[in-house]
Every structure is written in C-alpha cells, then in structure tokens.
Copies of this chain bind each other. A is one copy, B any other.
C-alpha cells in the first residue's frame, strides 16, 4: 500500500500483450469443411458446434449427400463473430437473439445495431473495470515485492 507506486521495476516478460495461441489459419480456396476441421479452426469442440446449431446460434448447416455437416467460409465468419461476442461475456441467449435478427432480414438493421452498441458499452465498461483491477494488482504486487526485499535485507 505504501511504496513509490506506479514504478513496477519488476515487470515480467508476460507483459507482452500476447492474446493466446494463434489459431491455425483458414486454408483458402476451400469452402466446405467437416465438423472436425471447423473444430480445429475455431477451437470449439464438435459437440459445441452441433449444440450451437441446435439452439439456433447457427442457421442450418449444409449437408453432404450422406448427411454430414459441411461448413462454408461464411459459417466460419459467423463463428468468428460469435467468438468475439463470447469474449465480451454476452450470454448465448443474446447471441441467439442476434442470429434471429440476422435471419429475419434487413428490416432488423436498427435492432442489430442497437444490440451491438449496447454490447460495445458493456465492453468499454469491462475494460475500465479491468484497468481498475490492474491498478489494485500492481499495488499488491509492489507491496509483496517490497516485503520480500525487506525480508532479504533482514537475512543478509
């Protein structure tokens, strides 16, 4: 709680803002993917992909002549958006609502935009919260760093 705050002399290498492992890139020139390919590309499980379809978060997926799902690039685009929305903490039910608006056609542009703007506000609030939390964490980290340093001096 004391200490010349804000210095963070002991910042670690994790500071670089790496945002997780990079997903395998989408091979181009292709427009029909099996469910396991999509699972690999998105990081979602095949279970989850089927579940998304059942609850209406994805519109009906194309099928092969034997009834197996064949995802298109447009489906992958949609999954990218869903992934982003999921990161915001938006409940799946709300994403389903958005999906329904998209399916309902262009008369819903206004509603879609309103939903996205409300989500945008959520994200901004969330970022602010996280920054506040970061400040608290830095204080605590410095505090413990100081305590350790003092203890080391005692020992020396």
Residues of chain A at the chain B interface (Cβ within 8 Å): 12, 14-15, 17-20, 81, 84-85, 87-88, 106, 109-110, 112-113, 116-121, 123-134, 136-138, 140-141, 144-145, 147-148, 151
Contacts and interface: CB of A to CB of B under 8 A. Distances in A.
A113 B134 contact: no
B140 A17 contact: no
A15 B128 CA distance: 11
A116 B87 contact: no
B87 A133 contact: yes
Contacts of A136: 81, 84
B126 A130 contact: yes
Given A106-B147, A113-B148, A119-B137, A132 B14 contact: no
Looking at A12, A81, A124, the one whose CB has the most chain B CB atoms below 10 A away is A124
Contacts of A117: 12, 14, 141
Given A136-B81, A141-B117, A20 B127 contact: no
B84 A132 contact: yes
A17 B121 CA distance: 8
A106 B140 CA distance: 14
